Structure 1
Amino acid sequence: MPKIESLFVTRLYHAALSEFAPKVDSAELEASCYSIAEDDEAGQEWCEENGYPGYTSYASLTDLGWRFPIFADVIKSLDKHIQAFAKDLEFDLDDRELKLEDIWINILPEGGMHASHIHPHSVISGTTYVSMPEGASALKLEDPRSGRMMAAPTRLKNGSRELQPFIYVKPKVGDVLLWESWLRHEVPMNMADDERISVSFNYTWS
């Protein structure tokens, strides 16, 4: 009998942010995101100059945990999720820690999208979801081998999930998703009438 096994696994971590304390109130977090977006003139200008849909604080603010206590609580919880994921990945961290490099707000309006990308120079990246109205985009993850498949046939649409070239993950408000930073991902067009709000982040090895 032939032996077939799966090699080089790509892991995706999916949990409720509240699984680790402190508990974060989602309504307060949403209000804080809007408050920051309204006051962040530098971020608004960057979004306009770069044709960025909606709002992101990625290019303007680096101190969300200091500005709003609720973001400090988000970071404390994320630190614990990162530790759990790093353990699952069996990383040998050599007595060092994965530490938060940056954290930013994304407010995506109807019709907005984030093109496919990776997060270079980071180890683990992820997102926690603040507002996901009906019709809001899922997260789209791409098989990291896709650029090397060349003449490979397409996969059966009803085939095994682990063999699909793209995976769509529809998180709920309060969820956190983590993946290794080399994994290419995107946010397809937001088809909801309301804004899709998330908080993304990168962790590095120091």
Structure 2
Amino acid sequence: MSNIRMLFSTPLYHSRLSGIDAGELEASCLSIAEDDEAGQAWCEENDFPGYTSYASLSDLGWRFPIFADLIKKLDAHVAAFVETLDFDLGDRKIVLEDLWINILPEGGIHTAHIHPHSVVSGTTYVAMPKGGSAIKFEDPRHAMMMAAPPRRKDARDELKTFVYVAPKVGDVLLWESWLRHEVPMNMAEDDRISVSFNYKWES
């Protein structure tokens, strides 16, 4: 009698925010983007579509109370996710490293990447217009599958080469930071707004 075990899983945490005013969070993101001249300059210099505060602001929780509230909610979600990952943390914790705003206009993309210096990465969604991009995750074994045939369209998620998740406003997605991901071209006329973040193993 044969037995098939699934090895080396790639977990994706998907939940909902509660207790955060979505309208206030969106207004705060847009206000910060309008005032952040350093962030605007970085985006222009690096041909970054739309706006990100990634390279300019590291204190959103101090600037706007709603971001301080958001961080508390994200801390709880990350703690729940980390509990399922069976890390041996010793007397150290997984703590917030950075948090930033992304505003992706029509035609904008975020190319495939990982977050190599973090443990858990994630995004929560502030504005998702109809037709706004899903987030695309890549099987980390992909580069080793040179001779493998393609998967069927109805393959199980754990066997697919790419998995697309179409989030809704208020969704929280978390994954281990080594997982390669991207945001394909935003085909919606309106901006796709999200807040992304990294958590690290405290030193």
After TM superposition, what 4+ stretches of structure 1 lie above 4 angstroms from structure 2?
none
Task: Judge which range, 175-184 or 87-96, deviates more.
Answer: 87-96
Task: Judge which range, 157-166 or 62-71, deviates more.
Answer: 157-166
Q: Could you say which residue in structure 2 is the equivalent of 1:3?
A: 3
Structure 1 CA distance, aligned partners of 2:69 and 2:51? 22
Residue in structure 1 matching 2:108, options 96, 107, 112: 112
Mapped pair 1:77 → 2:87: no
Residue in structure 2 matching 1:164, options 136, 160, 163: 160
Q: Could you say which residue in structure 2 is the equivalent of 1:134?
A: 130
Q: What are the superposed Cα offsets for residues 68-126 of structure 1, whole Å, 9 maximum, x if unpaired? A: 00000000000000100000111111121111100000000000010000001100000
Q: Could you say which residue in structure 2 is the equivalent of 1:191?
A: 187
Mapped pair 1:88 → 2:84: yes
Mapped pair 1:53 → 2:88: no
Equivalent residue letter for 1:111 = G
Shift of residue 63, structure 1, vs aligned partner = 0.3
Unaligned runs of 5+ in 2: none
Q: Could you say which residue in structure 1 is the equivalent of 2:174?
A: 178
Q: Could you say which residue in structure 1 is the equivalent of 2:61?
A: 65
Unaligned runs of 5+ in 1: none
Equivalent residue letter for 2:150 = T
Q: What are the superposed Cα offsets for residues 121-173 of structure 1, whole Å, 9 maximum, x if unpaired? A: 10000000000000000010000000111111111111222110000001110
SS of 1:102's equivalent in the other structure is: strand
| TM-score (ref. length: structure 2) | 0.98
Shift of residue 42, structure 1, vs aligned partner = 0.3
Mapped pair 1:154 → 2:150: yes
Equivalent residue letter for 1:14 = H
Structure 1 CA distance, aligned partners of 2:118 and 2:132? 27
Mapped pair 1:38 → 2:19: no
SS of 1:31's equivalent in the other structure is: helix
Structure 2 CA distance, aligned partners of 1:56 and 1:163? 33
Structure 2 CA distance, aligned partners of 1:4 and 1:84? 29
| TM-score (ref. length: structure 1) | 0.97
Equivalent residue letter for 1:37 = A
SS of 2:75's equivalent in the other structure is: helix
Q: How many aligned residue pairs are there?
A: 202
